[in-house]
Chain A
């Protein structure tokens, strides 16, 4: 149970160690204990924490009543008077617990809505022995193309929304996933409608993954996830797309060790799946390192290869996408996008917060101006050559 001052608490007057409170039109005298409770609870406070603070201030209560029981009584009385309000406490799940519960929840919600959904990356990769389990990470799912708006609607009804919508940054590279966040969950859901690096028709690729799916246990619930080969393909593409991520090197070694240990049939199946998904060229280097012979190399179009190149470059930082946006914008819009780039607060964006306004934004961006101006000048020079 948690408590805080009620919105109806109009005024609070302390006189000596006691006080008078006005809640709505109700004016009541409060004891020293209640006065201390009200002064302590300006924000949501767990009652157990409150009991500790009261014990620190008043000492242990006499008799058999525990401090917690006395505190709960005081809070109940103040709630009846309209001075405090209470609600059930949040149980803070660890991220790994939240991720497993959330994966089970999203899977069930999708099934109830008739949506085919596969859990991808994270848990599915470690389940197939391609990576040691991580204690952190979001829940990534891949849905049958065309059904993601329905899933988004269903999740929106229970409080999952897209932070930063519309996006405060340009999106020159098409989004492959939407991130959904909930104010009371510590982890997010990434809903993919295709997987970057697979340049086959998204519906066909999903069908390939769906037909090879397996079911794993997540928070004691059955959850559909990608099978061995699709999981290896997705994990491999993810590693290829982010070559400079801090974990890429160790995870690449784990991936290679696992795939090298496969029997020849599985290794061949991986190469064939990559070809069928239009990912031969994007994962070929990694397959080569694992001693797997890629099939049908050189079939990816120049446009798709350029898109892949952009995605790999964009993984190195926000600057690449801003630069891409500037280079692709009409001349008259370039300066405006450039100013937006310099003012962009990446920290706020990553935490799902709105971009700061006015002076605050100017002050924050000013700290990185020297570096930003050098970067901007280089982007504008590139833009003028494009």
Chain B
């Protein structure tokens, strides 16, 4: 057994533009190290200024369970904190390392967002594997949480650097918006979605949409601003490589 000291530690994170203090009770030193490693792109130095959000899960002995719960809880609390301020879509996003042009893929759990990240993320800036937060001027606010991998009730939480993902710089702008459709019957392709269909489809994947002022106008402005919503049909994540390259390079 390593690090048997029982203490209360606080780890401060920056996610979705808010500060989150995570209180860890009786966490072993090794567990603390894993938390820091998994959230390495979000770690910030605590200051005297209180955090916007405090997450206290109570004592959890199992490190995997703690990381899993933490991933969910931090995300939910940060989303709640930004309700009405950001357009937040359930999805993943990567940005070109040089230009910051960002491609976001939206879809429900199981549609392959994490797989898409693993296939196309290396060397690119990482924004999120869970929540793509977009400002009114198409800026993308990072939620660089650990990558949740696996289909079970307890997903592994991988540090982004393990996948070769680079940290965001705060200069990312939305350049493309896709809806992932896993479909082995056709070759990989992008299919444009009419604006009037795009809004209900995206609304299904938005958090706290009704808390925004004029939410449909905001959503339409984002869709319009990034060149429209596309359905990305694919069988294997790698099949989308030319489309991803094109989407991110087109705005260079």
Question: Is B1's CB within 8 Å of the partner chain A?
Answer: no
Check if B203 sits within 8 Å of A15, measured CB to CB.
no
Check if B195 sits within 8 Å of A15, measured CB to CB.
yes
Question: Is A336's CB within 8 Å of the partner chain B?
Answer: no
Report A115 CB to chain B, min CB distance, Å.
Answer: 51
Known contacts A10-B215, A11-B217, A22-B215; decide if A29 and B196 are in contact (CB<8 Å).
yes
Question: Is A24's CB within 8 Å of the partner chain B?
Answer: yes
Report A264 CB to chain B, min CB distance, Å.
Answer: 81
Q: Mark B190-207, 1 if CB is under 8 A from A, else 0.
A: 000001110110011000
Residue of B195, B200, B204, B216 near A11 (CB, 8 A) is B216
Interface residues on B, range: 10 to 19
Check if A18 sits within 8 Å of B215, measured CB to CB.
no
- Which 4 residue pairs spanning A and B have beta carbons closest together? A27-B203, A13-B216, A11-B216, A20-B199
A-contacting residues of B (Cβ < 8 Å)? 195-197, 199-200, 203-204, 209-210, 214-217, 220
Check if B216 sits within 8 Å of A27, measured CB to CB.
yes
Count of A-B contacts judged by CB separation below 8 Å: 43
Question: Is A19's CB within 8 Å of the partner chain B?
Answer: yes
Nearest B residue to A21, CB-CB: B216
Nearest B residue to A27, CB-CB: B203
Report B72 CB to chain A, min CB distance, Å.
Answer: 21
Report A23 CB to chain B, min CB distance, Å.
Answer: 9
Check if B197 sits within 8 Å of A29, measured CB to CB.
yes
Nearest A residue to B211, CB-CB: A10
Check if A18 sits within 8 Å of B210, measured CB to CB.
no
> Bound complex: CA of A29 vs CA of B196, how far in Å?
6
Check if B196 sits within 8 Å of A19, measured CB to CB.
yes
Nearest B residue to A25, CB-CB: B210
Residue in B197, B204, B209, B210 with the greatest tally of chain A CB atoms within 10 Å = B210
> Bound complex: CA of A15 vs CA of B197, how far in Å?
11
* A–B Cβ pairs within 8 angstroms, 14 of them: A10-B216, A11-B215, A11-B216, A13-B217, A15-B220, A19-B196, A20-B200, A20-B216, A22-B203, A22-B215, A27-B203, A27-B209, A27-B216, A29-B197
List A contacts of B217 (CB < 8 A).
11, 13
> Bound complex: CA of A13 vs CA of B195, how far in Å?
10
> Bound complex: CA of A11 vs CA of B203, how far in Å?
12
> Bound complex: CA of A255 vs CA of B217, how far in Å?
69
Residue of A13, A16, A21, A24 near B220 (CB, 8 A) is A13
List A contacts of B216 (CB < 8 A).
10-13, 20-22, 27
Check if A27 sits within 8 Å of B200, measured CB to CB.
yes
> Bound complex: CA of A11 vs CA of B212, how far in Å?
10
Check if B210 sits within 8 Å of A22, measured CB to CB.
yes
List B contacts of A18 (CB < 8 A).
196
Residue in B200, B204, B217 with the greatest tally of chain A CB atoms within 10 Å = B200
> Bound complex: CA of A16 vs CA of B220, how far in Å?
13
Question: Is A28's CB within 8 Å of the partner chain B?
Answer: yes
Residue in A10, A25, A27, A29 with the greatest tally of chain B CB atoms within 10 Å = A27
Check if A15 sits within 8 Å of B196, measured CB to CB.
yes
Nearest A residue to B224, CB-CB: A15
Residue of A10, A11, A20, A22 near B196 (CB, 8 A) is A20
Check if A13 sits within 8 Å of B199, measured CB to CB.
yes
Check if B199 sits within 8 Å of A27, measured CB to CB.
yes
List A contacts of B195 (CB < 8 A).
15
Check if A10 sits within 8 Å of B210, measured CB to CB.
yes
> Bound complex: CA of A15 vs CA of B209, how far in Å?
19
Residue in B209, B214, B216 with the greatest tally of chain A CB atoms within 10 Å = B216
Nearest B residue to A22, CB-CB: B216
List A contacts of B199 (CB < 8 A).
13, 20, 27, 29
- Give A200-218 interface residues, CB cut-off 8 Å to B: none
> Bound complex: CA of A10 vs CA of B200, how far in Å?
14
Nearest B residue to A26, CB-CB: B203
Report B214 CB to chain A, min CB distance, Å.
Answer: 5
Report B35 CB to chain A, min CB distance, Å.
Answer: 34
List A contacts of B209 (CB < 8 A).
22, 25, 27
Residue in B196, B204, B209, B217 with the greatest tally of chain A CB atoms within 10 Å = B196
> Bound complex: CA of A15 vs CA of B196, how far in Å?
7
Nearest A residue to B198, CB-CB: A20
Nearest B residue to A10, CB-CB: B210
Nearest B residue to A16, CB-CB: B196
Nearest A residue to B219, CB-CB: A13
Report A22 CB to chain B, min CB distance, Å.
Answer: 5
Nearest A residue to B215, CB-CB: A11
List B contacts of A24 (CB < 8 A).
210
Residue in A18, A20, A21 with the greatest tally of chain B CB atoms within 10 Å = A20
List A contacts of B203 (CB < 8 A).
22, 25, 27
> Bound complex: CA of A11 vs CA of B221, how far in Å?
14
